Amino acid sequence: MPRVEVDAKEALAGLVERVTFHSPETGFCVLRIKARGQRDLVTVIGSAATIQPGEYVHASGHWDNHRDHGLQFKAAFLKVTPPTSLDGIERYLGSGMIKGIGPVYGKKLVKAFGEAVFDVIEQSPDKLREVEGIGPVRAKRIAAGWAEQKAIREIMLFLQSHGVSTARAVRIYKTYGTEAVPLVSENPYRLAKDIRGIGFRTADQIAEKLGIEKTSMIRARAGLSYALMEAVGNGHCALPEDDLLALAEQLLEIPQPLLTEALDLELRAGNITNDTIGDRHCVFLPHLWHAEQAIASRLKALATGAPPWPTIDPDKAIPWVEAKLGVTLADSQRVAVGVALSSKVMVITGGPGVGKTTLVNSILRILAAKGGDVALAAPTGRAAKRLSESTGIEAKTIHRLLEFDPTSGGFKRSEEMPLECDLLVIDETSMVDVPLMASLLKSVPGHAAVMIVGDVDQLPSVGPGQVLADIIGSGVVPVAKLTEIFRQAASSKIIINAHKVNKGQMPELAPPPEGVTDFYFVEANEPEDAVPKIVEVVRNRVPRRFGMDPVRDIQVLCPMQRGGVGARSLNVELQKALNPGTPDQPAVERFGYTYRVGDKVMQTENDYDKEVFNGDIGFVTSIDTDATDMVIDFDGREVTYGFGELDEIALCYATTIHKSQGSEYPAVVIPIMTQHYMMLERNLLYTGITRGKRLVVLVGQKKAIGMAVRGVKDRRRWSKLRERLTQGAVGNLS
């Protein structure tokens, strides 16, 4: 839609004539205002904790020229004050905002006390009883209602004066209520823990405006948790104490002696926990320390005892299932079936084309004949869908299986209310982080068996820990590692090259002399050369040759987010090529991206209220600039986002290989340049290649591919899970 931005920081003030819409939950509102200097009523869109006709607003923001509704003022800040004119006061009191007063009593009160009515309500509420029909109960209710409205106003004014946007101020008020001002004044850093969308940096800015010194102990203590969270964001469950102090010193610019004192206070308060990993003294966030403990104790408990099904003779079961499925199992698969039938916990791992799916199906078919209840789970919606298709049994995301409860922020399924199954199969386990695995294992009933499936050579989880690698490395449960590539898979260059990369060998890059293959390399020696080649491959070459849809079937997977050939930059170029839009088409600019109907987008964080999770891909189906919301279709389910919530999503014509974990795409295009050197590692390239189902195209430099193939960096993740699993283990079950 055409937009005219008159002034990004223009001011507007006026009387609220009508509240067209107001959401008590989010504070979003559409107002009709009689503004100073404007002859006609003005439409203002913004956020306010409470708003009523008759109130006076001061707003700052910008004008939008809407095609259907004309000029609208989009307010980034709204400050609401009580009305001063008699007409405004009467409308305000009659709006129902204050309990005990409606239109009739609003008129009576203004007639009795005029402009002094607010002073009477606040300072002399007994005088209200002079008005006919107001007794002691109603007078008390009116005084209490006024006090509540005044408190809300003071809170909003306080927060806005310290740089908090109106939408976030509403969120803070909804969380803390009337205690918001003292709580935030005393410790603004609590906002980073309690309020979604506010991190340490924002809380730090508020603290600075409140006059809190950079070297204050309250900042040092909050900063240690922030530094630990930064480490968790890089996959760690803990950090060695000296590494944590060095990182905090760098992030906070606070001298180490002060941080050492802060560390001691945080440990004593129980906000962080210390433990040893090997011979290093390490610091954990408590929930991760407990989650590791829970995984180790639960896994060892589940692994003991007999499986829940009657004894099965593999020599009879294997020929039976081969006949049922029409397959011939390899020797390694036969051994694995035998182990699975006699074990309560087992791991199945291996790369593409080695028969993991056939093995899992064989085990499930044998156990189904014995009548056991099976539950199937995977970390993402796409992985769960693929598991359902390959097994013929309904699979759920782990969050759905555990019945996530948005109100409590936890799962309904737990030790107290376990899953109802005899066998739990977890697929794509390389993606499962420590907290999620702890929740999952806690929900498994004691009698049940667990089958853990995944490719340990892929990238570890985005979240903290390396659960699959640690379970395999601990040796406390049987592991079937499949390595033999099956004949039908050996014709695929995707699979051959994935295994070559995994072994540290260069993939075969030369195209076949004739015919079509499923793996191509397009050389591009400079970023300026690579970007147009990637666009050409996605927009024309692959669709023309393979009949694929450039938006729905082809996914560009980048080693990193930043840079000229990073996901962010490529998203802009691919959007221009694939969905450029027209001048009269609705569009919204938020958080560095412009969104249009038809755009491919990805959810970038878990949103449990919407039941949309990190990595889910959807398509924009509508944009409403009046209601300021956007509808995204995720696999047939439409989800509405307010424009202020668009920091949860990003364009997804291109994404990072990390974000693609657990997903498969008909075709993937992978830019690989030496400018990505920081991220060029073997498991990254291997993971990217294995995302392609029918086609993989590498675009870039042979030198960069060589760097990735040789790149096995020691990116150790600080976690104690492997140690915990081996401590007190009852012997190696493998």
Backbone angle region of 547, left / alpha / beta, with phi > 0 → left and psi within -120 to 50 → alpha: left
For residues 463 and 572, membership in a common domain is answered with no
**E strand or H helix that includes residue 207:** helix 200-209
Q: Report the binding-site residues.
A: 353-357
- State residue 450's pLDDT score: 96
As a whole number, mean pLDDT of residues 215-241 equals 91
Last residue of a domain, one of 470, 485, 500: 485
Backbone angle region of 465, left / alpha / beta, with phi > 0 → left and psi within -120 to 50 → alpha: left
Structure confidence at residue 154 as a pLDDT band (50, 70, 90) = confident
Q: Report the binding-site residues for ATP.
A: 353-357
- State residue 545's pLDDT score: 92
Total structural domains in the chain?
4
Distance CA 220, CA 213 (A): 10
Strand, helix or coil at 333? helix
As a whole number, mean pLDDT of residues 438-448 equals 95
As a whole number, mean pLDDT of residues 378-382 equals 85
Structure confidence at residue 62 as a pLDDT band (50, 70, 90) = confident
Amino acid (1-letter code) at residue 305? G
Report whether pLDDT(546) > 50: yes
Distance CA 408, CA 390 (A): 34
As a whole number, mean pLDDT of residues 687-697 equals 94
Distance CA 128, CA 111 (A): 12
Structure confidence at residue 409 as a pLDDT band (50, 70, 90) = confident
For residues 529 and 481, membership in a common domain is answered with no
For residues 362 and 435, membership in a common domain is answered with yes
Identify whether the C-beta of residue 73 lies closer than 8 Å to the C-beta of residue 59.
yes
Distance CA 535, CA 527 (A): 12
Distance CA 326, CA 343 (A): 25
Last residue of a domain, one of 284, 303, 323: 284
* CATH number of 247's domain: 1.10.10.2220
Question: For residue 208, is it within any domain?
Answer: no
Structure confidence at residue 733 as a pLDDT band (50, 70, 90) = very low
What burial letters (b/e) apply to 156-188, b meaning 16+ CB within 10 Å? bebbbebebbbbbbbbbbeebeeebbebbeebb
Tens of pLDDT along 101-141? 778 888 888 888 988 888 888 888 888 888 888 888 888 88
Report whether pLDDT(468) > 90: yes
Strand spans (E) along 383-540 = 395-397, 404-405, 410-411, 423-426, 449-454, 479-482, 519-523
Least confident of 26-40, 86-100, 267-281, 344-358: 86-100
Domain hosting 77: range is: 10-158
For residues 98 and 140, membership in a common domain is answered with yes
* CATH number of 315's domain: 3.40.50.300
For residues 464 and 561, membership in a common domain is answered with no
Tens of pLDDT along 6-23? 334 688 888 888 888 887
For residues 279 and 359, membership in a common domain is answered with no
Last residue of a domain, one of 158, 182, 197: 158
> Hey, how many other C-beta atoms are within 10 angstroms of the C-beta on 111?
12
Report whether pLDDT(369) > 60: yes
Question: For residue 566, is it within any domain?
Answer: yes
Question: For residue 266, is it within any domain?
Answer: yes
Question: For residue 475, is it within any domain?
Answer: yes
Question: For residue 612, is it within any domain?
Answer: yes
Average pLDDT, the chain: 86
Question: For residue 664, is it within any domain?
Answer: yes
Question: For residue 510, is it within any domain?
Answer: yes
For residues 464 and 410, membership in a common domain is answered with yes
Distance of CA 585 to the CA centre of its chain: 29
Question: For residue 260, is it within any domain?
Answer: yes
For residues 42 and 136, membership in a common domain is answered with yes
As a whole number, mean pLDDT of residues 481-505 equals 87
For residues 315 and 459, membership in a common domain is answered with yes
* CATH number of 114's domain: 2.40.50.140
For residues 703 and 557, membership in a common domain is answered with yes
Structure confidence at residue 1 as a pLDDT band (50, 70, 90) = very low
For residues 671 and 527, membership in a common domain is answered with yes
Structure confidence at residue 378 as a pLDDT band (50, 70, 90) = very high
Tens of pLDDT along 698-713? 999 999 999 999 877 6
For residues 435 and 530, membership in a common domain is answered with no
Structure confidence at residue 519 as a pLDDT band (50, 70, 90) = very high
Distance CA 488, CA 162 (A): 65
Q: Which two tokens stand for residue 186?
A: 């005393």
Distance of CA 231 to the CA centre of its chain: 17
Tens of pLDDT along 626-650? 767 899 999 888 999 988 788 888 9
Cα dihedral 327, 333, 338, 341, rounded to 10, equals -80
Structure confidence at residue 68 as a pLDDT band (50, 70, 90) = low
Report residue 169: phi and psi, to 5°.
Answer: -60, -40
